Amino acid sequence: MKALAIGIMMWMQANCNIPGVHPEQNFCNLDWNKPAPVITVLSHNELVRQFKINHGTVPNGNSRSIKGFYLKGTNKIYMKKQDYSRALSQSDILHELVHYIQNENGLLDDCDAHFEIPAYLMQIHYYREKTGRSATAGSIEHYKRKSCNTLY
């Protein structure tokens, strides 16, 4: 998982101009010289348990949709056991790696819209580039409607 994380982080740095990301959060302006975080793969039930223990929240309230999470303020990512040779699964890791890089650059503020929207935009861009297929993230609209959102 460490090699995969390093490869994805290198891809994100090389492909940092993501359409739709607010200029204040431009990935090209971030410090990418960070070690790969520790990624722990868990069964889905254990992942959900850890997510709840760490006070995670899901926009739709459906914990069955959780594929991973970054433990804010640490170098730890927890991911669901799945086939990580697939672009879709890799995009799930990418999403959590975005949060790790955001944290390392002081961009995880109190408004989850400010860090979730860029993470989803990067995830969509990765999936499209790797597969040539279209992709969307319905959660973006949820975050755009948040009252704290001043960027999107």
Residue 106 lies in a domain: yes
pTM equals 0.94
Q: What local confidence, expressed as pLDDT, does residue 58 receive?
A: 73
Give the model confidence (pLDDT) of 53-96 as tens digits: 998 877 666 777 899 999 999 999 999 999 999 999 999 999 99
How many Å apart are CA 40 and CA 17, to the nearest integer?
Answer: 29
All residue ranges of the chain with pLDDT < 70 are 59-61
Domain membership of residue 97 as a residue range? 2-144
Nearest to 27 by CA among 93, 123, 109, 113: 123
Residue 149 lies in a domain: no
Q: How many domains does the chain have?
A: 1
User: Percentage of residues in the chain with pLDDT exceeding 70?
Assistant: 98
Q: What local confidence, expressed as pLDDT, does residue 34 receive?
A: 96
